[in-house]
Chains A and B, each alone.
Chain A
Amino acid sequence: MNVFVLLGLGAAAGLLAGMFGVGGGFLATPLLIFVGIPPTVAVASQANQVIANSVSSLQVQWRRGNVDLRMGLVLLLGGMVGSTAGVSLFTYLKRIGQIDFVIAVLYVVMLSTIGVLMLFESLRTYLRRRRNPEAPRGKLHTHYLVHRLPLKLRFYKSKLYISALLPLGIGFAIGVLSAILGVGGGFVLVPAMIYILGMPTAVVIGTSNFQILFVAANVTFLQAATNGTVDIVLAMLLILGGVVGAPIGSRLAAKLPGVVLRGLMAILILTVASELLTELLRTPSSFYSLGSREVLP
C-alpha cells in the first residue's frame, strides 16, 4: 500500500475532523476500506488513531476544567464492558467469516441515519432562520421517564441528579460501536449526552473525550492481543495526516456559517454511505474468497 495515499487519507480525515469538530474516524474507516485495506485492519488501526485524537483534545479540555470526572468514570465503566464485549463479538464474527459484511452494514445504517438527521436539522434551521431570525429556544431541560430509574447519582459538574444506569447504558453502547467500527463514537455520544442525559454543552466535549480515550485504548489492546489486526504503521500515518489536516480544517470551518457546514457534512456522509451500500448490492466479480490461512504444524 502506498504510503502517500495513506498519509493523504489521514490528512483528509483530519481536515474533515477539524472542519466539523468530530473525530473523523467514521469517515476514515470507510475510506480505508475503499482503498483496499482489509476492513478488520482498518477498524482496529482506526481505534489506535482515535487514542491520539482524543488525547490531544483532552489536553485542552482538562486544563479548562471541562471534564466531569464522575460522569466520565460512569460512562467509562459502561464503555469498558461494552468494548470488551464488542471485541469478543468481533472475534466471533471474524471466525465465522461475517465480520466484513457486519462492518459494512453497520456503517451504512449508522452513516445514513446520521446523514439524514443532520441534513434535516440543517435544512430546518436554515429555513427557520430565514423566516424568523430570533427564533425562541426550546426548553433547556425536560423530564422524562428516564428520571424515574433507580440508582440515582449526583453529578455536580453537570448539575444533574440522574440514574447511573443511563450513562452506563450509553457508555456500553458506545463501547460496542467503538469495538466493531473502530470509531471513537463522539458523534453519537455527544448528542446522547446533550439530549438524553441533559448535560450542559460546556462539559460535553471534554467528558466524552475522556471516555473515548480509555475505550479506544481498551479496543486497541484487545484487538492487538486477540485478533492481531492493529497495524501500528497504518495508525501512525493516519495520526500524522490528522495532525496536519485538523488545524487546516478548523481554519476553513471558521470561514463558513454553521448551517452550511453541517449541510455539507451531511451530504458527504450520505455519499460515503451510499457507496458502501452499492458495494453490498452489486453482484461481485468473484463469488469466492479465502478466509485466513492456517498453516498446520
Chain B
Amino acid sequence: MTRLAIALALACLLASHAAAQGPRIEPPAGGLVGPTLGGPVDSSVPPSVPSQSTTPELVVDLSRPRVSITSAFQGESILLFGMFDPPGEIVVVVAGPPGRETVLRKQRFLGLWLNIGRQAFDDVPAYYAIAASQPLQRLLARSAGGEILSLEDRLSSVRSVGQREHQELTKFRLGLVEVKRQEGLYPPAIGQVTIQAHRLFRVELPFPSRLPEGVYDVRTYLLRDGKIVAAVSRPLPVGKVGFNAQLASWATHHGPLYGLGAIVLALMAGWIGGAIMRRL
C-alpha cells in the first residue's frame, strides 16, 4: 500500500517535472506542480540560499506526514524521497525539538554505583540524524557556509548550564551522545541518500521506539560545488495518538484529576474483584 503510494507520488513528480521542462503547456489551476508536493519553502533559511524560481530545483516529500506514537509503537521508518535538477548532491538533516538535557554520571561510592556528577545542557536536539548522497566529510569540508552541521558540530554548540572545567564538560558531552546513540536518537549513520536516474533520490529515516514528542524539522539541501543552491524544510510532527495520548495529556496537564481517577478506578476494581472472587 505504502509502496504504491510512493510509486504514484514519484510518477506525479516526474510528470510535473516533465511538463515544466517540456514545451510550454499552461499548467492546470492548482495542478501538481512542485511546490505543492515539496511543501512550504522554509522562510528561516538564510538569504545565502537563492530564492526559488518558478521551476523548483528541489522537491521533497515524506512517505508519512507524521509519526504517530500508539501504545504498540515499536519505532518507525519514514521514507524521504524527491527530485532535483542535476548536477548536485543531496544532504538531509533531521532535527528533533531542542530542549534541556541533564546528563548524570555514575561513580562508585562505598562500593555502590550512584549518580554523583550531573551536568545540564541547553539547546540539545531531541533527535539528530544526517544523511548525504556522498560521504559527508567530503561534502561538508567543501561547503563553506557552515549551514549544514554534522552531529559533532551541532553538539559543540550546545550551551552548558553552570560552570565546569572544559575537559569535564567534554566528557559529559560525550556521555550525552553515548546515551542518545544507545536510544537510537542520534543514529550514527542513517543509510546513504541514493540517487537514481541522476535526479531521483530517496533515504530511509529511522525513528526508535522511545521517541520524544514534538515537531521535528526535516531539511533537504541541494549542493552544487559545495554551495547550497536549494533547501526545502518539512515539519514532521511526532506525537502520541488515541487513548494513549488522551491519558498522557491528562497525566501531565490535569495531575490531580488524573490521581482522583486512578483512586476511583482502583477502588472499583478492588471492590468488584474482591466480590467476584469470593463467590467463586
**In contact, A286 and B178 (Cβ under 8 angstroms):** yes
Chain B facing A: main interface SS = helix
Q: Does B24 contact A (CB under 8 A)?
A: no
**Interface size on B (CB < 8 Å)?**
53
Contacts of A293 in B (CB 8 A): 99-101, 126, 212
Contacts of A54 in B (CB 8 A): 270
Given A51-B270, A288-B172, 9 more pairs with CB closer than 8 A: A60-B278, A225-B255, A232-B261, A236-B265, A240-B269, A290-B176, A291-B104, A293-B126, A294-B100
- Name the residue among B263, B275, B276 with the largest chain A CB count within 10 angstroms: B263
Query: Which chain A residues in 58-84 approach chain B with CB under 8 Å?
Result: 59-60
Q: Does B260 contact A (CB under 8 A)?
A: yes
Q: Does A267 contact B (CB under 8 A)?
A: no
Q: Does B97 contact A (CB under 8 A)?
A: yes
In the complex formed, the residue of B with least CB distance to A233 is B247
In the complex formed, the residue of A with least CB distance to B107 is A287
A235 and B270 CA atoms in complex are apart in Å by 11
One digit per residue, 1 when the CB lies within 8 angstroms of any chain B CB and 0 when it does not, for chain A 30-74 equals 000000000000000000110111111101100000000000000
Contacts of B265 in A (CB 8 A): 232, 235-236
B20 nearest CB across to chain A (Å): 41
Contacts of A221 in B (CB 8 A): 256, 259-260, 263
A101 and B108 CA atoms in complex are apart in Å by 12
A284 and B178 CA atoms in complex are apart in Å by 14
List the count of A-B residue pairs having beta carbons below 8 Å apart.
Answer: 160
Query: Which chain B residues in 83-142 approach chain A with CB under 8 Å?
Result: 97-107, 111-115, 118, 122, 126
Q: Does A239 contact B (CB under 8 A)?
A: yes
Q: Does B25 contact A (CB under 8 A)?
A: no
**In contact, A51 and B266 (Cβ under 8 angstroms):** yes
A284 and B107 CA atoms in complex are apart in Å by 10
Q: Does B50 contact A (CB under 8 A)?
A: no
**In contact, A280 and B269 (Cβ under 8 angstroms):** no
Q: List 15 A-B contacts (CB under 8 A).
A: A52-B267, A56-B270, A98-B114, A105-B112, A221-B263, A223-B259, A225-B259, A230-B258, A240-B273, A242-B273, A280-B114, A288-B175, A289-B179, A290-B101, A290-B180
**In contact, B262 and A59 (Cβ under 8 angstroms):** no
**In contact, B274 and A290 (Cβ under 8 angstroms):** no
A187 and B128 CA atoms in complex are apart in Å by 49
| 3 nearest A-B pairs in the assembled complex, by CB-CB distance | A56-B274, A224-B259, A52-B270
A217 and B266 CA atoms in complex are apart in Å by 9
One of B111, B113, B255, B270 near A55 (C-beta < 8 A): B270
A282 nearest CB across to chain B (Å): 7
Contacts of A294 in B (CB 8 A): 99-100
Q: Does A135 contact B (CB under 8 A)?
A: no
One digit per residue, 1 when the CB lies within 8 angstroms of any chain B CB and 0 when it does not, for chain A 264-288 equals 0000000000000000111110111
A240 and B270 CA atoms in complex are apart in Å by 9
One of A52, A101, A233 near B115 (C-beta < 8 A): A101
Q: Does A228 contact B (CB under 8 A)?
A: yes
Contacts of B122 in A (CB 8 A): 296
Chain A facing B: main interface SS = helix
B133 nearest CB across to chain A (Å): 32
**In contact, B104 and A289 (Cβ under 8 angstroms):** yes
Contacts of B274 in A (CB 8 A): 55-57, 59-60, 243
**In contact, B255 and A226 (Cβ under 8 angstroms):** yes
Q: Does A246 contact B (CB under 8 A)?
A: yes
One of B114, B259, B275 near A230 (C-beta < 8 A): B259
**In contact, A296 and B259 (Cβ under 8 angstroms):** no
In the complex formed, the residue of A with least CB distance to B267 is A55
Contacts of B258 in A (CB 8 A): 224, 228, 230, 232
Q: Does A295 contact B (CB under 8 A)?
A: yes
A126 and B175 CA atoms in complex are apart in Å by 54
Q: Does B18 contact A (CB under 8 A)?
A: no
In the complex formed, the residue of A with least CB distance to B174 is A288
**In contact, B278 and A48 (Cβ under 8 angstroms):** no
Contacts of A288 in B (CB 8 A): 103-106, 172, 175-176, 178-179
Once A221-B256, A225-B256, A228-B252 are accepted as A-B contacts, the answer to whether A290 and B266 lie under 8 Å apart by CB is no
A243 and B98 CA atoms in complex are apart in Å by 44
A215 nearest CB across to chain B (Å): 12
In the complex formed, the residue of A with least CB distance to B256 is A225
A206 nearest CB across to chain B (Å): 14
One of A236, A287, A290 near B102 (C-beta < 8 A): A290
Q: Does A222 contact B (CB under 8 A)?
A: yes
Q: Does A220 contact B (CB under 8 A)?
A: yes
A150 and B270 CA atoms in complex are apart in Å by 39
A281 and B280 CA atoms in complex are apart in Å by 46
- Name the residue among A242, A246, A288 with the largest chain B CB count within 10 angstroms: A288
**In contact, A239 and B266 (Cβ under 8 angstroms):** yes
In the complex formed, the residue of B with least CB distance to A217 is B263
**In contact, A48 and B262 (Cβ under 8 angstroms):** yes
In the complex formed, the residue of A with least CB distance to B252 is A228
Contacts of A217 in B (CB 8 A): 263
**In contact, A243 and B99 (Cβ under 8 angstroms):** no
Once A220-B262, A288-B179 are accepted as A-B contacts, the answer to whether A97 and B273 lie under 8 Å apart by CB is no
**In contact, B247 and A284 (Cβ under 8 angstroms):** no
